[in-house]
Structure 1
């Protein structure tokens, strides 16, 4: 009887050692954690323009395909702005054409006007010189009053012709400056037209990828602005699990390491995945404070060292759309390289 008890005790001890060995082998070769959650990339859908929503064909938690209409903003104001600037551009184009014809006509006469100005200048200077020479001779009786009056009249006439031709030359220059100003206005209007076209495009917002609508916060008739998110769109093309592993478990783990994932809502199913990335930093919870160039470390009577945990991002190969939700709890096992 005693012998049988000893045999049972030995068998029990042997089984315990075998189980302990299996557990240790699994811990060393396949670290496991239940500190994990499901994750997917998301975007906040924020309007690019102000306006009233006139169409909202989607519902909260609805699956949408890339290119599906999410919402439409009333385009009337932006269409009117586009029409106004198009009409303004047309008016400026006609004004520029008229100005160009005027300038072309003036440019043809520019050389002749320049020659006339120079000729009138010479004629005026001669008349002025003749008048100035005769003026002192009047008192001496060498020149009659009639002659001095004729010289004055000739000087004034030549001066008037000279100034008139100078004015024509200045008008040609002003005309050229005027067309530059019109062209600058036209370029500004063209920029406004492009902006109006973009605004019209922004009145329709479509899904940039296949996803699920969540956090829908508005309805038809709501006035929106670029500072307000209307909804969140979850990218369902790829799902991940973020698993927080102890730093002592990271040895042998790298990008591409195979992983097995269990979702807490249905632990009967397992999903395959691979390590996508391993975090290179987390904020320390007991960081020291540097005072006077030396670190000040707080004293603690707790001598138990708790290993830091680092997030490991795991890409899921074939997720179940009915089980995978952002933030859902999961269990992860990663297999180390042998």
Structure 2
């Protein structure tokens, strides 16, 4: 009898300890939301030429750091130089024709004033002069366009960053608008922490955060909550417009909380700790009472 009582007492004590542990963990998670599901991210500039042509020179190497304005690669400028020369010749011809037409219009005005030229012929000469002047304006625009396209044959870095996964080489035909090179913006690194939706009520914009990289566990980084995503991709939907919904089977008694990205802005990471897109990170939030809840 005493043995049964002790056994029941021990069982109740273990249940109470387990419940207390669950309660403590829940309170800690609410007081300091935490996730191991984090990742270092950055803006990636997909560099695409604005004109098409064969690449004749590549001025960077894979994983090289470049500054804003540094040359990346060049496209064969031959055809574009010829287009500039043709546009210059067209402008010179249009200017000469406009000068002649203006002189004819001036003579026609003198003759018309003396009554030696009809109104119809005078109007014709005036219209021809105006048309030639408009042709000069069009030729100037064509020349500027040709020069602009020629300048596009030299592609430079739009921001300071790192060239990565470089496969471009001389001889490759580059098509306008198609990315041929990736540049990671060096000043845009942030951390995305994927928190359960049940954690979001305890996270606010401006809350301080501690980020620990898997590769550098002894060097935590300071940050703050910059924003919280307002949506993630739907899983139970068709791939294309008009497709039927694809509903995955689930167990009614198991409901997994959706993970929502929380953007963490880093506060001056150490210069000797290089950040790389894709690094795995743990993120802990220290909720602030004065911060705005989202």
TM range (shorter): 0.7 to 0.9
- The correspondence for 1:334, drawn from 274, 285, 289, is 285
Corresponding residue for 2:209?
Answer: 259
Q: 2: CA distance between counterparts of 1:310 and 1:96?
A: 66
1:232 Cα deviation from its structure 2 partner: 0.5
Corresponding residue for 2:292?
Answer: none
- The correspondence for 1:302, drawn from 240, 252, 263, is 252
Q: What SS does the aligned partner of 1:251 have?
A: helix
Corresponding residue for 1:105?
Answer: 107
Corresponding residue for 1:223?
Answer: 173
1:335 Cα deviation from its structure 2 partner: 0.8
Q: 2: CA distance between counterparts of 1:79 and 1:334?
A: 58
- The correspondence for 1:180, drawn from 124, 130, 137, is 130
Q: 2: CA distance between counterparts of 1:67 and 1:237?
A: 15
Corresponding residue for 1:6?
Answer: none
Retained in 2: the 8 A contact 1:263–1:323? no
Q: What SS does the aligned partner of 2:169 have?
A: coil
- The correspondence for 2:148, drawn from 182, 191, 198, is 198
**Structure 1, unpaired ranges of 5+:** 1-8, 117-164, 288-296
Retained in 2: the 8 A contact 1:265–1:323? no
Corresponding residue for 2:28?
Answer: 26
Q: 2: CA distance between counterparts of 1:101 and 1:285?
A: 74
Residues 229-268 of structure 1: CA deviation (Å, up to 9, x unaligned) = 1110001113111111111111232221111111112222
Retained in 2: the 8 A contact 1:65–1:207? yes
Corresponding residue for 2:5?
Answer: none
Question: Is the aligned partner of 1:67 residue 2:17?
Answer: no
Q: What SS does the aligned partner of 1:109 have?
A: helix
Aligned Cα root-mean-square deviation (Å):
2.9
Q: 1: CA distance between counterparts of 2:25 and 2:66?
A: 45
Retained in 1: the 8 A contact 2:94–2:139? no
Q: 1: CA distance between counterparts of 2:88 and 2:254?
A: 75
The structure with the greater share of residues assigned to helix is: 1
Q: What SS does the aligned partner of 2:204 have?
A: coil
- The correspondence for 1:37, drawn from 22, 25, 39, is 39
Question: Is the aligned partner of 1:240 residue 2:174?
Answer: no
1:86 Cα deviation from its structure 2 partner: 1.5
**Structure 2, unpaired ranges of 5+:** 1-9, 238-246, 290-294
Q: TM-score, normalised by structure 1?
A: 0.71
Corresponding residue for 1:154?
Answer: none
Q: 2: CA distance between counterparts of 1:80 and 1:283?
A: 49
Q: TM-score, normalised by structure 2?
A: 0.80
Q: 1: CA distance between counterparts of 2:128 and 2:175?
A: 40
Count of matched residue pairs: 267
Corresponding residue for 2:240?
Answer: none
